[in-house]
Chains A and B, each alone.
Chain A
Amino acid sequence: MNDKLVLEVNALTKSYSTSGGPLTVLRDVTFGLGESRTCAIVGPSGSGKTTLLGLCAGLDQPTSGTVHLNGIGIHGMNEDGRAQLRSLLIGFVFQNFQLLSTLTARENVMVPVELRGDSGADDLAIELLDRVGLADRMDHYPVQLSGGEQQRVALARAFINRPKILFADEPTGNLDSDTSGKVIDLLFDLNRAAGTALVLVTHNLELASMTDCIIKLRGGKMVGSL
């Protein structure tokens, strides 16, 4: 891995303080991900996958260790700094879609561009929605869309900012296998086309095997990577 690393994680540890003393849910995780590379995080439920993803994406503060996104250390930043970085570098796809229920499909897709204060959001959103095959459903609200359609809107939203890296937490966990297949194909297509790096949390080993590397977690520790 000589090329420039988009994500670099070093000795990452996360503990929560609970009533029964500190609970370490992630211990000493280290890995790196190059530009346009894909990586899957796998492990049993409760092993710390979501925690790791959240830390990498700057959604939370690590207890110790460092995270660099595109060479910038985010572990020391405050929330607003990380928020700004997120709007510049990162895209998200979630298990339960997380569309804003009061916004139409198109408006949902536009949000990241509008947040940066850039113009032309409308055209970009239309173009992307067309790519995910929802050109005719643009002005529908999330409740009017099926799960698969909602996830496709989420994909369009994730890519509209041309992110450097995309984080996906069990993106197909709530979808049937047929629909999952389509969403996965779309995800990898868009990824390849945009040259985005991808971190994917999944239970699905078949899906994991499509990525460049796999990180296995058990009880918060890395038990191997491929």
Chain B
Amino acid sequence: MDVPTTVSTALEDRPVSGAVCLEAGAGVGNTTAGLLAAGASRVYAVTNDAAHAKAVSERVARAEPDRTAVLEADLRSLPLADDSVEIITAHGLFNVLPPESLDAVVGEFRRVASPGCHLVVDDYEPLPSDAAIRELFALENATSELARGRPALTFYPADVVRRLFVGDGWTFDREWTLLDPVPWTENHVRAHANVARSFASKLPDELGDQLAADADRLETAIGSESVGEMYSIAFQYPE
């Protein structure tokens, strides 16, 4: 599997080789693959989504069974011991964490971090106000709020993430721009429209149909758009 350049860049100055790693919010396994390629001794790939756990197992873990453990678990209460990991990665995780989950997740990171542990948080800056794709994300959030009472996406500025972890005892190390602009391709736009449509299908018919039609319209109208910024922030926990 090709490791995305966003992942390989974010990891390139981290001492991954030989380290025990926590990949927080494993998605479909891009960062798990990046950590393994960079020589991690063990990667705990944690996700609360069963389909993602399966995807990571099939795409990545199967080829590296001795170095990978895919855990279907909640980041707010990790099934890992205190002081047990040397690298934590959160690549594209924070934008799917609603504000009320932040405190518990940050607390768990600190608990499992061993002294000297490295933390890498890669995520998106809030989009500029004239970005066309904002409307699709707004629809995604609206349908998500209506269907399950929380937003689908929250874009935390790099400065906020930095203060959050520094406030919790981590030392800031560096901040990089991974993508500028961020290429939201037709595939991404379709995937986000699919999320909105799937939440819409859980709503009362009339409202749901209306919002699903909006998703169709926005998918076509936006097509693809390169806009915004993706950042990478690295921290270290004091020895």
**Do the two chains bind?**
no
Residues of chain A at the chain B interface (Cβ within 8 Å)? none
